[in-house]
Structure 1
Amino acid sequence: MRCKSMHRRDIAIEFDPPLLFDTHNNRHKICKCMSSSEEQNIATLIEQHKTSRVGSLHWIHWLIVALSLLMTIAVWQYSKIQIQEKNENRFHREADQVITLIIERLQKYEDALWSGVANIQSHGGSVNFSQWNSFATALRLPEKYRGINGIGVIFNVPDTELADYLDSQQGDRPNYGIHPKHENPHRLPITYIEPVAENANAVGLDVAHEQNRLNAALKARDSGKAQITGPIYLVQSTERTPGFLFYAPFYRSNGAASATPLNVPERQKQFSGMVYAPFIVHKLMLGTLEKARRHVGITIRDDDFTLYNENNSDDQRFDKNPQFEQTFPLDIYGRQWQITIRSTTDFRDEAKNSQPTFILLGGILIDAMLFFLFLILSNANRRATLLANEISKGYQTKSLELEHNIKQLRESNKELEQFAFAASHDLQEPLRTLTSFTELLKSELEDKDNSPHVQASIQYINEAAERMRRLVLGLMSYSRIGREPELATVDCEQLLDNVLADLDSSINEHQAEISRSKLPTIKAYSTELHMLFQNLISNAIKFSKPNSIPHISVSCKDDGGNWLFSIQDDGIGIDPQQFDQIFLLFKRLHAQHDYPGSGIGLAKCKKVVTLHGGEIWIHSEENAGTTFFFTIPKTI
């Protein structure tokens, strides 16, 4: 009979895998025409195939890895978008602040001009050189009006009054004269300008000789309002840098000072002159917006003329590929300025955020761990299959022993498979959290509904991403086991300066006022001490009272064998019943939406102090401020 004479190779060809996993009855029918040895060979092949299937990567494992990778990329992209929106909002805040400060500064200068008009009116419509000098001195221009070149008076001098005007001025100043000559019917000489030393070339200058100066003067005369000129070069500036004049008109009636007439003909008839101020634009910007206080560059244009420009390659903060750029039209005192604001390299440095990178790396790390786990399991099962092959070689002579071994192998692989699924389930738990809530977030955002559910979904995503980040940080901590920080000589004055520089944005945002006593130079772990000061001061700023300016005091005194530091604030305070909990890891006393944070800041502070061998404690009452005390031993 053919089936009795078949070789093992023939059996391997004729029985494909689906047949090997047929029912028990089918297997019995097949084996009826075979010898006992051949039956044993088929049984061995069946068990080997089952073992191979248990040990190979299941399609669901690949699906889990693929989905987790997709979710990681989705959350990474979402985080990048959120950070981009945050940076864009910060740019617009800085841009609005720039525009607001320019307007406010010019309004302040306008007030100075109108005070000059009031001074002239108080003297009956005219002042002499001595009176104007006294007024200008009282204004304290260098202290109160940074950026202004001076303040002066321009009189309207008709031809019929020219001789009397020159006689009256040359009585005090024999060398006084009007210049230059021109053909315009108007004569508007600069009569007084303070301080004289810096503006000597402007004394006697007839502003009607040049069209930009004259147009603004006539507009001020006819409107009764303050006006600025188009771009000019001031005669008192040797550098020929762009500037402008700022006019405020005054009027007379029957030789005496008068309020602004109600209509244009009356204003033209009673026009007596103007109080004016000359400006060099770059000095105005220095007085208005110091570069150290902003992270954007400014360009100001009047029509096609550039009044001021920081957005060029000569500026060390220039960013040739700015993250943000916008031009704002500004109608101001009769002129329209175009103010272009661009983000700088400082802005780019401030905008850097590693959160998306941590999310991406954390997700990839988990995916890699899953892949290698599955790979290890697969290799283990392959080794189990090889073991089964070795056992099958002696199966014909030791059939009972082989059956026993196969049974043990089956049980072993069953346990191994259960372990594989359980392990993959546990490792995938954070990713499943991300997946579930990201799907919910996607569903909510499709309707563009800014409901609380959307916000909750975003919160859950952030928490899951944070768990990823903690995994990465945990691995990093593990890699640092055995490494000790190095003691160094730390100048606490310099260290506090560095901390305040790091917190500059938060300090400016809350307008926090920080005072300090003389701080010592000590032996300490520099990086950890920096983190301690930064955490305590940032907490003092964050937990300030609403709508109030935080006042923070940093001090230190010699306490025998220790340096006793204290950081005091006037914020919302802490309930004394919570004192024993605030240094616990992940302990938070306030809701996340009220005061965001991780809940580990004070725990880190305590660990830093303990590392130095010191102690940390607190004195506080609700709504009465908080003082943190900590000691650093003089000998560590």
Structure 2
Amino acid sequence: MEQQKPFTMGNLHWAHWLIVALSLLMTIAVWQYSKIQIQEKNENRFHREAEQVITLIIERLQKYEDALWSGVATIKSHEDTINFSQWQSFSSALHLPEKYKGINGIGVIFNVPDTALPDYLRRQQQDRPDYRIHPAHQNVYRFPITYIEPMADNLNAVGLDVAHESNRLKAALKARDSGQAQITAPIYLVQSEERTPGFLFYVPFYNSTNDSDSELIYEDGDLAIKKRQQQFAGMVYAPFIVYKLMQGTLEKARRHVGITISDDGFLLYDENHKNDKRYEKGPQFQQAFPLEVYGRSWLITIRSSSAFRNETSNNQPTFILVCGIIIDAMLFFLFIILSNANRRATKLANYMTEGYQAKSLELERNIERLKESNTELEQFAFAASHDLQEPLRTLTSFTELLKDELGSNPDKPHVIASIKYISEAAERMQCLVLGLMSYSRIGREPELMSVDCNDLLDDVLSDLSVVIKENNVKIVRATLPVILAFPTELRMLFLNLISNAIKFKNRETTPCITISSKEEDDHWLFSITDNGIGIDPKQFEHVFLIFKRLHSQDDYPGSGIGLSKCKKVVALHGGKIWVSSKINEGSTFFFTLAKSPKK
């Protein structure tokens, strides 16, 4: 006999390579799918947070506008005039620091023509002797800031004529002519020593005449504009420094995105720079929002920050990939072990066949060796399957330990989900190993006995009583014979076939299983019929192959070994097994058992 060559991976059957390759491809596909799902989830979260930022900015400006119109209403309630103490009372009632965070103050600007200037200054200097209008300018308009509260923070603004500077003046005239709230282009507030960008927010009011205020505000056309210009009395206004507005509107601690605001190319506010501790050079997501706000066009750019990346980080795809590769490797080495054992048995059988004609005595010895080799092969498969359980138990124990360790930490749901995937994969692998052990045990120490198939069927149905009741299965049974058989293996045969009939039920009909038998010349013919989902006739030759599955694990869980065990049990009894079926029309499994099976 020639010297045995060492085993190489090339000795694996192409089907083994195909199974490993498909398993690896499925692992990669699930890994990629998980990455895409998480990316889409994070993108949706970013868009929700970005839209929430825009909504909060708009709502906050509308709230400030309402406060300014309430100032107009207060002036109208005092018959178009209001003094310094009355405005202080109104401002105090607003509770600006608590209810209007980000606002620098609220004040009144009067329209003071040249003819009314002396009387205006006399009235203001009665309460405030130091009051004056500044700075001097050549414009024909005079719009001095008369009152501003809180005064302590806005002393430099008292008496400031907003007509002295073009951005302030353009927005004021636009508010006057439109009757609507307006904001200025970017300016630097005189009361701010930091020289950071800000703007003024105006709402106009008019002298009372026969026309109602609503007509002055909402009428269209040149005549309406002319009326507003003639009756323009002044404006209630609020000064804003943009970074204070953003602090009051959108505190950084409550969001995970960075904001940049520009007005016609002028940078009003910017968090997206390297000096910001949450800045991320290559953001995951970025979106620009053009926004029309009270006569100005703002461009708000929102980018995900490092806080967003930290909050949305998820290691689930990595866990899936690592666990899938581990399982694929275990499957690969299992195939190597089985293929090596099968190769040795095949080589021995070929050697015996070659020497059959010349050495009949040697042939008998070789037959004996083959029996011993097959016995060793079965023992080897059993031992290999048994030994594979130890790393699986270790993997399961450690995942349970990790689950217990993380059980009190609800902030890592993605880690807990990944541990669940590892546990489920280990359970499926353990199911395959246990199925392989069960397969290898069939016929190891058989003992022929007289078996009443009716009693045996009663025991099987009793074991399946819970699942039969849960699925509302109808059992129709004929009287079965008393036969000579191996009871443990025969019970396994009935249990597998009836369990499959229940598992692959048709969800649109009530499950029904019929069990019958027929005596023939030298054997018994049994049949188990169901009204389940059926089997494609093209798959008849494949269903009895070990590890062969016709459905996904998610749809119908299992090891793919059950029908292989049935075939081995029937062969042990000197019989055959086959199936007749059509898709969605149920299946009938036939098997024969010899009346005098050989040990």
Which TM-score band applies after superposition, normalised by the shorter structure?
0.5 to 0.7
- Partner SS for 1:530: coil
How do 1:173-572 and structure 2 match up within 5 A? Answer: 173-253=128-208, 258-259=213-214, 261=216, 262=219, 263-380=224-341, 399=362, 402-408=365-371, 411-412=374-375, 415=378, 475-479=394-398, 530-531=408-409
Q: 1:253, CA displacement in angstroms?
A: 3.5
The 3 A distance-change label for structure 1 pair 414 and 295 is: same
- Partner SS for 1:177: coil
The answer to whether the Cα contact below 8 Å between 2:175 and 2:204 also exists between their aligned partners in 1 is yes
Q: 1:258, CA displacement in angstroms?
A: 4.8
Q: 1:290, CA displacement in angstroms?
A: 0.8
Provide the C-alpha distance between the structure 2 equivalents of 1:241 and 1:473, rounded to a whole number of angstroms.
Answer: 64
Aligned to 1:612: none
The answer to whether the Cα contact below 8 Å between 1:212 and 1:230 also exists between their aligned partners in 2 is yes
The answer to whether the Cα contact below 8 Å between 1:52 and 1:382 also exists between their aligned partners in 2 is no
How do 1:613-624 and structure 2 match up within 5 A? Answer: none
Which letter maps to 2:374? E
Provide the C-alpha distance between the structure 1 equivalents of 2:114 and 2:271, rounded to a whole number of angstroms.
Answer: 45
Provide the C-alpha distance between the structure 2 equivalents of 1:400 and 1:89, rounded to a whole number of angstroms.
Answer: 74
The answer to whether the Cα contact below 8 Å between 1:322 and 1:343 also exists between their aligned partners in 2 is yes
Which letter maps to 1:287? G
The 3 A distance-change label for structure 1 pair 102 and 87 is: same
The 3 A distance-change label for structure 1 pair 320 and 117 is: same
Structure 1 stretches lacking a partner, 5+ long:
1-43, 428-470, 486-524, 536-636
The answer to whether the Cα contact below 8 Å between 2:80 and 2:208 also exists between their aligned partners in 1 is no
Task: Indicate yes or no: 2:54 matched with 1:111.
Answer: no
The 3 A distance-change label for structure 1 pair 209 and 364 is: same
Aligned to 1:93: 48
Q: 1:83, CA displacement in angstroms?
A: 1.0
Aligned to 1:609: none
Q: 1:254, CA displacement in angstroms?
A: 5.3
Provide the C-alpha distance between the structure 2 equivalents of 1:256 and 1:401, rounded to a whole number of angstroms.
Answer: 124
Q: 1:323, CA displacement in angstroms?
A: 0.4
The answer to whether the Cα contact below 8 Å between 2:345 and 2:374 also exists between their aligned partners in 1 is no
Provide the C-alpha distance between the structure 1 equivalents of 2:318 and 2:392, rounded to a whole number of angstroms.
Answer: 13
Aligned to 1:463: none
Q: 1:475, CA displacement in angstroms?
A: 4.9
What per-residue deviation string (whole Å, max 9, x for no partner) do you get for residues 456-489 of structure 1?
A: xxxxxxxxxxxxxxx99975443489x899xxxx
Which letter maps to 2:13? H
- Partner SS for 2:297: strand
Pairing partner for 2:14 from 59, 62, 66: 59
The 3 A distance-change label for structure 1 pair 333 and 254 is: same
Which letter maps to 1:478? S
- Partner SS for 2:59: helix
The 3 A distance-change label for structure 1 pair 531 and 348 is: closer
Q: 1:159, CA displacement in angstroms?
A: 1.0
Provide the C-alpha distance between the structure 2 equivalents of 1:346 and 1:272, rounded to a whole number of angstroms.
Answer: 49
Provide the C-alpha distance between the structure 1 equivalents of 2:55 and 2:309, rounded to a whole number of angstroms.
Answer: 23
The answer to whether the Cα contact below 8 Å between 1:189 and 1:206 also exists between their aligned partners in 2 is yes
Provide the C-alpha distance between the structure 2 equivalents of 1:398 and 1:359, rounded to a whole number of angstroms.
Answer: 58
- Partner SS for 2:154: helix
Provide the C-alpha distance between the structure 2 equivalents of 1:213 and 1:277, rounded to a whole number of angstroms.
Answer: 12
Aligned to 2:29: 74
The answer to whether the Cα contact below 8 Å between 2:348 and 2:370 also exists between their aligned partners in 1 is no
Q: 1:534, CA displacement in angstroms?
A: 10
Which letter maps to 1:148? I
The answer to whether the Cα contact below 8 Å between 1:54 and 1:381 also exists between their aligned partners in 2 is no
Q: 1:81, CA displacement in angstroms?
A: 1.1
Task: Indicate yes or no: 2:103 matched with 1:148.
Answer: yes
Provide the C-alpha distance between the structure 2 equivalents of 1:154 and 1:209, rounded to a whole number of angstroms.
Answer: 13
What per-residue deviation string (whole Å, max 9, x for no partner) do you get for residues 105-143 of structure 1?
A: 111100100000000000011111011111101111011
Provide the C-alpha distance between the structure 2 equivalents of 1:127 and 1:411, rounded to a whole number of angstroms.
Answer: 110
What per-residue deviation string (whole Å, max 9, x for no partner) do you get for residues 7-32 of structure 1?
A: xxxxxxxxxxxxxxxxxxxxxxxxxx
Provide the C-alpha distance between the structure 1 equivalents of 2:162 and 2:9, rounded to a whole number of angstroms.
Answer: 97
- Partner SS for 1:97: helix
What per-residue deviation string (whole Å, max 9, x for no partner) do you get for residues 505-532 of structure 1?
A: xxxxxxxxxxxxxxxxxxxx9x668348
The answer to whether the Cα contact below 8 Å between 2:338 and 2:381 also exists between their aligned partners in 1 is no
The 3 A distance-change label for structure 1 pair 534 and 77 is: closer
Q: 1:362, CA displacement in angstroms?
A: 2.2
The answer to whether the Cα contact below 8 Å between 1:125 and 1:256 also exists between their aligned partners in 2 is no
Provide the C-alpha distance between the structure 1 equivalents of 2:374 and 2:126, rounded to a whole number of angstroms.
Answer: 120
Aligned to 2:121: 166
What per-residue deviation string (whole Å, max 9, x for no partner) do you get for residues 200-223 of structure 1?
A: 000000001111111110110011
Q: 1:286, CA displacement in angstroms?
A: 0.9
Per the normalisation by structure 1, the TM-score is 0.57
Q: 1:289, CA displacement in angstroms?
A: 0.7
What per-residue deviation string (whole Å, max 9, x for no partner) do you get for residues 528-577 of structure 1?
A: 68348999xxxxxxxxxxxxxxxxxxxxxxxxxxxxxxxxxxxxxxxxxx
The answer to whether the Cα contact below 8 Å between 2:7 and 2:340 also exists between their aligned partners in 1 is no
Provide the C-alpha distance between the structure 2 equivalents of 1:94 and 1:477, rounded to a whole number of angstroms.
Answer: 39
Aligned to 2:435: none
What per-residue deviation string (whole Å, max 9, x for no partner) do you get for residues 147-192 of structure 1?
A: 0000000000111111111111111111111111111111100000
Provide the C-alpha distance between the structure 1 equivalents of 2:102 and 2:14, rounded to a whole number of angstroms.
Answer: 73
Structure 2 stretches lacking a partner, 5+ long:
414-599
The answer to whether the Cα contact below 8 Å between 1:150 and 1:195 also exists between their aligned partners in 2 is yes
- Partner SS for 1:111: helix
Q: Which moved more, 1:226-235 or 1:246-255?
A: 246-255
Q: 1:414, CA displacement in angstroms?
A: 7.4
What per-residue deviation string (whole Å, max 9, x for no partner) do you get for residues 218-250 of structure 1?
A: 110011011111101100000011111000100
Q: 1:271, CA displacement in angstroms?
A: 0.4
The 3 A distance-change label for structure 1 pair 266 and 59 is: same
- Partner SS for 1:187: coil
- Partner SS for 1:86: helix
- Higher radius of gyration, 1 or 2: 2
The answer to whether the Cα contact below 8 Å between 1:55 and 1:381 also exists between their aligned partners in 2 is no
The answer to whether the Cα contact below 8 Å between 2:201 and 2:239 also exists between their aligned partners in 1 is yes
Q: 1:71, CA displacement in angstroms?
A: 1.4
Provide the C-alpha distance between the structure 2 equivalents of 1:229 and 1:326, rounded to a whole number of angstroms.
Answer: 25
Q: 1:372, CA displacement in angstroms?
A: 1.0
Provide the C-alpha distance between the structure 2 equivalents of 1:114 and 1:276, rounded to a whole number of angstroms.
Answer: 9
Per the normalisation by structure 2, the TM-score is 0.60
The answer to whether the Cα contact below 8 Å between 1:251 and 1:267 also exists between their aligned partners in 2 is yes
